[in-house]
Amino acid sequence: MSQIDKILYTGRTTTTGGRNGAARSDDGRLDILLAPPGAAGNGTNPEQLFAAGWSACFIGAMGLAAAELKVALPKDTGVHAEVDLGTGTGGYLLRARLSISLPGLPRDTAQAIVDSAHANCPYSKATRGNIGVTLTLL
């Protein structure tokens, strides 16, 4: 397992009530209601939060990869993330799909950016070998 040499940031949240509760960050910037997937009313769920966090981080990793290749990341770059919650051998499991849009870039350049981002994004590293992940370059 890799070790952190220098901490750049620590996110701190407190959650109460689990999937029927609330989560708040220590700085108050995040203050959300939680609800199970498909429940009526307000509230998000851990799968949506994970999808949002991973897609945002992945775009950041693509920006670094593009800079290394000396190309500009398109302004309308996007990542559509889907995180499935399911059951299988061993109980509850996750699976994810990232659909990546890098409009205007040559396909080989875009693929190189996606490959580098997936190799370096902390969320990709955390999930590698632990859940099913599919990357699709649109």
pLDDT computed for residue 90 by the predictor: 86
Note the pLDDT of residue 128.
Answer: 95
The answer to whether 100 and 136 have CB atoms below 8 angstroms apart is yes
CB contact set of 49 (below 8 Å; sequence gap of 6+): none
Averaged pLDDT, 94-110: 98
Q: Flag whether pLDDT at 96 surpasses 90.
A: yes
The better pLDDT of the pair 120, 90 is held by: 120
Rounded mean pLDDT of 89-116? 97
Q: Are 101 and 136 in contact (CB under 8 A)?
A: no
**pLDDT band at 1, cuts 50/70/90?**
confident
Digit-coded pLDDT (tens) for 10-65: 999 999 999 999 999 999 999 999 999 989 889 999 999 999 999 999 999 999 99
- Smallest CA-to-CA distance from 136 within 109, 105, 115 is with 115
pLDDT at 63: 98
**CA atoms of 98 and 92, how far apart (whole Å):** 20
Q: What is the DSSP string of 49-91?
A: HHHHHHHHHHHHHHHHHHHHTT-PPPTT-EEEEEEEEEEETTE
**Mean of pLDDT over the chain:** 96
